[in-house]
């Protein structure tokens, strides 16, 4: 074991001395590997950061919730086919509420942008939602202070409102909002609760809105607005059955003819995550092609330089063989030299690529921890390229005839 380690140390030292003797040539040789690995690591790091962000954001939608809407989240084909659909209506919500037995929670959701004010403070284009008491379960939106809407609030069209945390901060600053009356549009509503803070969804605040009973909303702003309907199952394995039940009920209520396409969409989180996976898969493929070309060029560069090195050091090889070096010794020496060249380029590529990836993520206000996988991928690529590119020159060096080598000028 000690003999093996001693030989490896000797080979490393000899390889390092050979590289130092030709610094510029060694630098140019590592450049192709450096570019290939840095490209891989930059994109790899950036995509990992985006993955953490995107999947974190998609979790806000709720994996066990489906949304009945006019438009699908991912539109394929003719947009006007979807544009000409009828809106989702309150009547359809009532039908689902009555007949959809696989949904544990159902909430109608209708929206408008209104001015919201309190004691002279006014904010325009605030997102106002009309919904029911089950919205908190379908959206995972629970009150941090006060209470949420109740069935009584919804049934009796009470003028009460639950505020998002950001909107509450704007309106009340250091004042307690509970039981205060705010103006939404031209109507007064009593604040009954403040929702837990949820942050942003792809840059859009999820805390800058207000929820009122859907009956109050429809009475004030009209009952003919289109809406969406959220349905949640607490059992994930029932989700596909739930979608089929929804489809059957809505096709009947909306009078879809047998064989005709659905004139509504049933959306869920998986649609967006699948689309994102398709996009990143395409990006990975492009990066792989670019990196492969860079590494191929780098590998050819290493092979050419190693061939030159073998030619220049023919007498050295002859002397080493004359004093007892075996073919395996010569092969190992030149192979290690090629791997060192590739590894230096790989290490530089990892450092630069990872730094570049972090800078890109910082511009998007995203962060990511040190990825062991990125380091393994970078060193793995460079080592494999070094071995493959260095094998033929090393093999050729090991096969040189010692007598002919000593005669070489």
Domain coverage including residue 16: 2-57+273-407
Cβ neighbourhood burial of 182 (10 Å; 0-12, 13-18, 19+): buried
**Total number of domains in the chain:** 2
Domain endpoint, select from 233, 250, 268: 268
Residue 183: which residues within 8 A CB-CB, separation 6 or more?
115, 116, 117, 118, 189
DSSP 8-state symbol, 325: -
- Is residue 47 located within the same domain as residue 81? no
- Is residue 191 located within the same domain as residue 315? no
- Is residue 301 located within the same domain as residue 256? no
- Is residue 333 located within the same domain as residue 391? yes
- Is residue 243 located within the same domain as residue 307? no
Report how far Cα 152 is from the mean position of its chain's Cα atoms: 42
Low-confidence ranges of the chain (pLDDT < 50): none
Domain endpoint, select from 268, 292, 327: 268
- Is residue 322 located within the same domain as residue 336? yes
Domain endpoint, select from 211, 233, 268: 268
Distance between CA atoms of residues 92 and 67, nearest Å: 13
pLDDT for res 247: 92
pLDDT for res 300: 84
- Is residue 286 located within the same domain as residue 349? yes
pTM of this structure: 0.69
Alpha helices in 59-148 (DSSP H): 79-83, 90-99, 135-139
DSSP 8-state symbol, 160: E
- Is residue 249 located within the same domain as residue 291? no
pLDDT for res 108: 95
Residue 273: which residues within 8 A CB-CB, separation 6 or more?
54, 55, 58
- Is residue 74 located within the same domain as residue 134? yes
Are 44 and 396 within 8 A, CB to CB? no
- Is residue 306 located within the same domain as residue 220? no
pLDDT for res 332: 79
| CA torsion, ordered 247, 251, 256, 261, to nearest 10 deg | -10
Distance between CA atoms of residues 250 and 246, nearest Å: 6
- Is residue 17 located within the same domain as residue 95? no
């Amino acid at each position: 074991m000690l003999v093996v380690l001693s030989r490896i140390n000797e080979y490393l030292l000899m390889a390092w001395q050979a590289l130092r003797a030709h610094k510029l040539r060694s630098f140019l040789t590592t450049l192709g590997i450096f570019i290939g690995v840095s490209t891989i690591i930059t994109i790899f790091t950036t995509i990992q950061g985006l993955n953490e962000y995107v999947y974190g954001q998609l979790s806000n939608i709720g994996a066990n919730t489906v949304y009945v809407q006019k438009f699908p989240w991912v539109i394929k084909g003719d947009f006007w086919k979807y544009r000409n659909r009828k809106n989702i209506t309150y009547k359809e919500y009532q039908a689902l509420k009555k007949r959809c037995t696989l949904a544990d929670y159902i909430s109608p959701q209708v929206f408008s942008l209104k001015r919201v004010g309190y004691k002279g403070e006014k904010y325009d284009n605030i997102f106002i939602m009309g919904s029911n008491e089950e919205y908190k379960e379908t959206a995972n939106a629970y009150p941090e202070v006060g209470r949420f809407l109740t069935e009584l609030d919804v049934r009796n069209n009470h003028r009460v409102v639950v505020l998002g945390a950001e909107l509450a901060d704007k309106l009340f600053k250091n004042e307690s909002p509970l039981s205060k009356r705010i103006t939404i549009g031209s109507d007064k509503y009593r604040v009954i609760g403040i929702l837990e803070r949820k942050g942003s969804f792809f840059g859009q605040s999820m805390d800058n809105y207000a929820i009122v009973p859907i009956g109050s909303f429809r009475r004030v702003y009209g009952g003919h607005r289109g809406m969406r309907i959220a349905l949640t199952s607490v059992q994930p394995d029932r989700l596909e059955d739930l979608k089929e039940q929804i489809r059957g009920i809505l096709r009947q209520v909306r009078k879809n003819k047998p064989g005709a396409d659905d004139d509504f969409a049933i959306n869920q989180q998986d649609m967006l995550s699948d689309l994102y996976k398709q996009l990143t898969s395409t990006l990975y493929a492009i990066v792989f092609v670019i990196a492969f070309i860079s590494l191929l060029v780098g590998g050819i560069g290493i092979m050419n330089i190693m061939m030159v090195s073998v030619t220049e050091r023919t007498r050295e090889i002859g002397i080493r063989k004359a004093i007892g070096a075996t073919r395996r010794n010569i092969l190992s020496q030149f192979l290690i030299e090629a791997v060192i060249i590739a590894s230096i380029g790989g290490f530089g590529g990892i450092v630069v690529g990872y730094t570049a990836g972090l800078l890109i993520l910082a511009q998007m206000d995203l962060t990511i921890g040190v990825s062991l996988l990125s380091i393994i991928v970078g060193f793995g690529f460079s080592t494999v390229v070094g071995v493959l590119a260095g094998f033929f020159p090393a093999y050729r060096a090991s096969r040189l005839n010692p007598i002919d080598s000593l005669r070489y000028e």
